[in-house]
Amino acid sequence: MREFLVAGWLALAPLAAWAMPEAPPAPARTPPEPLARDLSLPPALSDELIRKAVRETIVEDPHPADTANRAAGAFGTTAPSMHVTMTAAFEQAKVPDCLHGDALKLQPAQIGPIAVVGPYSLPWVIAAVIRGKCN
């Protein structure tokens, strides 16, 4: 029985395709006519045009960039020096003073995702003193 159903479906597929209307033939593509070049458009880039632009730029500023600033990024910033990096690391690692604004830096005053601020954070400051998270 199953073979008859499969054979029936296979026989119907060509009939269904035969019953569908044909698509109209695609028009033949003709090459576009060469138009006069519109002078308002920029010229097409070619190797010779790029070489010419590079030569003109070198003629305008023949001095190369300073080799000391070659590590500079796109906006002219260089990588931080070792002194700046170490100073930032020490500032981040030192234990804060309990009476200043960064007292809860190592133990944030939060209840889940909600931050506790102002005088309501006093229990967290007391806990930070007991735990040694601030001086």
Q: Three-state SS string across the chain, please?
A: CHHHHHHHHHHHHHHHHHHCCCCCCCCCCCCCCCCCCCCCCCCCCCHHHHHHHHHHHHHHCCCCCCHHHCCCCCCCCCCCCHHHHHHHHHHHHCCCCCCCCCCCCCCCCEECCEECCHHHHHHHHHHHHHHCCCC
Residue 20 has pLDDT above 70, yes or no: no
Query: Does 108 reside within a domain?
Result: yes
Model pLDDT, residue 108: 87
Query: Does 13 reside within a domain?
Result: no
Range of the domain at 135: 93-135
- Average confidence (pLDDT) over 106-112: 88
Backbone angles phi, psi at 118, to 5 degrees: 70, -150
Confidence tier at 32 by pLDDT (50, 70, 90): low
Model pLDDT, residue 127: 92
Sequence-ordered list of residues with C-beta below 8 angstroms from that of 110, at least 6 positions apart, any chain = 116
Confidence tier at 12 by pLDDT (50, 70, 90): low
- Average confidence (pLDDT) over 39-66: 79
Query: Does 123 reside within a domain?
Result: yes
Total domains present in the chain: 1
Q: Is 78 within 8 Å of 71 (Cβ atoms)?
A: yes
Query: Does 72 reside within a domain?
Result: no
Residues above pLDDT 70, as percent of the chain: 61
Name the least confident of 11-15, 58-62, 71-75, 118-122.
71-75
Confidence tier at 87 by pLDDT (50, 70, 90): very high
Q: Give the predicted TM-score (pTM) of the model.
A: 0.38
Query: Does 104 reside within a domain?
Result: yes
Query: Does 121 reside within a domain?
Result: yes
Query: Does 129 reside within a domain?
Result: yes
Query: Which of 44 and 8 is assigned the larger pLDDT?
Result: 44
Query: Does 42 reside within a domain?
Result: no
